[in-house]
Chains A and B, each alone.
Chain A
Amino acid sequence: MKGHPKKNHFERFFHELQNHEALWKDGTLYLPCPMDPETARELEKAARAGPFLEVRRGGVQGPKVVFHRGIPYVETIAWEGLVRHAAVLFPQVASRIQRKVRRDLFGNAQPQGVQLNTTHLETVLFQVLPRFVRLPAWVKSAENRREALALWLSMKAAVPERFHRWAKDMQRRDLESGGTKRPGSFLQEVWSETEERMVEAETLRRDLEDSLERTWRESLAREQERLRKRLRPYRDWAAPALGFMLFILTRGTLEVDGFGFFARSSDGGLVVYKRSGRYALVDYYNRLYLFPDCRVAVTSHDLWPVVVETYKHPLLPRHQPWQRICLGHSPSGRTFTAPHIIRSLEDGLNALYHGYDPRKRNGYHRLDHFASFQGDIHFDDFKIPSDDPRCLSGEIPVTNTFS
């Protein structure tokens, strides 16, 4: 069956208007209202008495009817409402225009604001990161250590050049405007129009697209303004350091030498992690098991250490991601401060490395456990020879043989 090309809501809306002109009055769109000529004449007479006629049925106020050159027009939709909700009413057109605006303003890769708590971010960047990452001497001895750290991180993270350009641009604009510039409202221009006129469907379509474009530009300008405000504390920094802060605020993710963080999309929490690297554990019979790398993390909502990846370990109850690591004590009462974050991450790592005692066989599972049924957690696939050269050479540490 051959079907006609499917029209979206936007096309359908303007297709309906195609054969009729619409009346534009007081920021509202009136469409021709076909009715019995007798009724129309009666209504027109009544309308001459007042500026417009209100159709009342059973005490309920109906739409307004106005007459223009003898033709009745009925009130349909306010322009303000149409523009305000255009992104919902006409999603395809809205997304096309948004792409166009972003491309015009930012090129192919535009900054997108991530809702990161700046205080949390600063805590992680400037207090927790130096604990887990070896910093060069010039960073540690710098007068402004935060700026030097941001500068070094911008090199380590290979921040794209365009972030430095935006940072420079923001600094320049701040200097020009004195930091007080506010974006103007484009919508006000459209809404304030009050004159009565006839409009064609094509004109309306163009106007709506223009308004959508202006709305997006305004919203992006507001987004930029928000970013500029958040970057204000660092505005005296060198452009690469400021560019790095912009990069972090817009991307919300970073990893340096096995330490990193990212903003979790599900709840907006900041996830801070440290990679465990590969390590080996021994079982009761002195057999070796090689454990793969995983990310041990805490979040800004919960400081109980978890594994980010699907992972299995004697101190983890299941084989799945985001499991709490069994610590033997509860880290409750800890807050999202540098000492507590460091403590929680180290507790989690220490539990994975050193928490399993092969003689006590503590935890949820035993390393030497033989899988008796399907789905049972076992560690046979992690087994490696006892004389594995990686363990003999110390490349992969055996972490539970000290007791």
Chain B
Amino acid sequence: MAVRVLEEKEKERRKLPVPLVVEILPGQAAEGLLEVFEPGTYEGKTLQELVDFILARQDLSVEEREILEDILLQMERGVLLCAGRAVEGDPLERARVEETEEGEKYYYVAVRAVRPQEGGFPDPWEVPVRRP
């Protein structure tokens, strides 16, 4: 019964015609590179495609460029993770609904560029990473 309720809520949540905010965070940082996708621009795209779009941006401010450099540094031997899993599939599967101070709803997806530490082995872990 509980599972059915969850599914119904999930369906309802997916119907929201609201913007999607994707944030790529370097390491365990609290702030990252933000991009707002208006309704109609992100449907049908995978999360990886949206991330690639953000990383390929050229119109960055000085602060944003610093964050991008940090993200690329983390990705050298790292991996992009969303809620602990690889970045793939429908972005709304990992999205949570948030509200602005004015009460406007939006989807939010956080993607982290992290370097996993593998304890117990001396060799660093090489993970293939797709670069933009």
**Set A135, A327, A394: member contacting B119, Cβ < 8 A:** A327
* Chain B contacts for A360, CB-based, 8 A: 121
B28 touches A349 (CB 8 A): yes
Let me know if B29 is at the binding interface, CB within 8 A.
yes
- Within 55-95 of B, Cβ neighbours of A (below 8 Å) are at 63, 79, 81, 83-86, 94
* Chain A contacts for B2, CB-based, 8 A: 389
Residues A402 and B118 in contact in the complex (CB < 8 Å), given A257-B30, A349-B28, A389-B6: no
- Within 353-375 of A, Cβ neighbours of B (below 8 Å) are at 353-357, 360, 362-364
Residues A362 and B121 in contact in the complex (CB < 8 Å), given A389-B6, A402-B86: yes
State which size class the interface on B falls in: 20 to 34
Let me know if B124 is at the binding interface, CB within 8 A.
yes
Let me know if A151 is at the binding interface, CB within 8 A.
no
**Set A131, A327, A363, A403: member contacting B29, Cβ < 8 A:** A131
Residues A328 and B27 in contact in the complex (CB < 8 Å), given A401-B85, A402-B84: no
Let me know if A6 is at the binding interface, CB within 8 A.
no
B31 touches A134 (CB 8 A): yes
Q: Nearest residue in A to B27 (C-beta to C-beta)?
A: A346
Let me know if A315 is at the binding interface, CB within 8 A.
yes
Let me know if B44 is at the binding interface, CB within 8 A.
no
Could you write out 6 A-B pairs with CB less than 8 Å apart?
A325-B117, A329-B124, A345-B28, A350-B27, A389-B2, A403-B127
User: How far is it, in angstroms, between the C-alpha of A3 and the C-alpha of B86 when the chains are bound?
Assistant: 77
B120 touches A402 (CB 8 A): no
Contact string, A365-403, partner B, CB cutoff 8 A, digits 1/0?
000000000000000000000010100111001111111
Contact string, B31-70, partner A, CB cutoff 8 A, digits 1/0?
1000000000000000000000000000000010000000
* Chain A contacts for B124, CB-based, 8 A: 328-329
**Set A134, A274, A392: member contacting B28, Cβ < 8 A:** A274
Expressed in whole angstroms, the minimum distance between the Cβ of A250 and any Cβ of chain B is 27
Let me know if B96 is at the binding interface, CB within 8 A.
yes
**Set B3, B85, B119: member contacting A398, Cβ < 8 A:** B85
* Chain A contacts for B63, CB-based, 8 A: 140
* Chain B contacts for A398, CB-based, 8 A: 83-85
Residues A351 and B119 in contact in the complex (CB < 8 Å), given A132-B29, A133-B30: yes
User: How far is it, in angstroms, between the C-alpha of A360 and the C-alpha of B124 when the chains are bound?
Assistant: 15
* Chain A contacts for B114, CB-based, 8 A: 346, 350, 353-354
Q: Nearest residue in A to B10 (C-beta to C-beta)?
A: A393
* Chain A contacts for B120, CB-based, 8 A: 315, 326, 328, 362-364
B118 touches A400 (CB 8 A): no
**Set B3, B27, B79, B122: member contacting A342, Cβ < 8 A:** B27
User: How far is it, in angstroms, between the C-alpha of A314 and the C-alpha of B121 when the chains are bound?
Assistant: 13
User: How far is it, in angstroms, between the C-alpha of A314 and the C-alpha of B118 when the chains are bound?
Assistant: 11
Q: Nearest residue in A to B118 (C-beta to C-beta)?
A: A328
Tell me the interface secondary structure of chain B in the complex.
loop
State which size class the interface on A falls in: 35 or more
User: How far is it, in angstroms, between the C-alpha of A400 and the C-alpha of B116 when the chains are bound?
Assistant: 9
| Interface pairs A-B: 3 shortest CB-CB | A326-B119, A351-B117, A315-B119
Among A134, A360, A397, the most chain B Cβ lie within 10 Å of the Cβ of A397
* Chain B contacts for A399, CB-based, 8 A: 81, 84
Among B63, B81, B116, B123, the most chain A Cβ lie within 10 Å of the Cβ of B116
* Chain B contacts for A274, CB-based, 8 A: 28
Among B31, B63, B96, the most chain A Cβ lie within 10 Å of the Cβ of B31
User: How far is it, in angstroms, between the C-alpha of A266 and the C-alpha of B84 when the chains are bound?
Assistant: 37
A328 touches B29 (CB 8 A): no
User: How far is it, in angstroms, between the C-alpha of A346 and the C-alpha of B29 when the chains are bound?
Assistant: 9
List 12 additional contacts besides A328-B120, A355-B118, A401-B85; criterion CB under 8 Å. A140-B63, A315-B120, A346-B115, A351-B118, A354-B81, A354-B114, A354-B117, A355-B117, A355-B119, A389-B6, A398-B83, A400-B84
- Within 318-354 of A, Cβ neighbours of B (below 8 Å) are at 325-329, 342, 345-351, 353-354
Let me know if A279 is at the binding interface, CB within 8 A.
yes
User: How far is it, in angstroms, between the C-alpha of A132 and the C-alpha of B28 when the chains are bound?
Assistant: 7
B119 touches A328 (CB 8 A): yes
* Chain B contacts for A140, CB-based, 8 A: 63
A350 touches B30 (CB 8 A): no
* Chain B contacts for A315, CB-based, 8 A: 119-120
User: How far is it, in angstroms, between the C-alpha of A132 and the C-alpha of B32 when the chains are bound?
Assistant: 11
Residues A362 and B118 in contact in the complex (CB < 8 Å), given A398-B84, A399-B84, A402-B79: yes
B83 touches A328 (CB 8 A): no
* Chain A contacts for B30, CB-based, 8 A: 130-134, 257
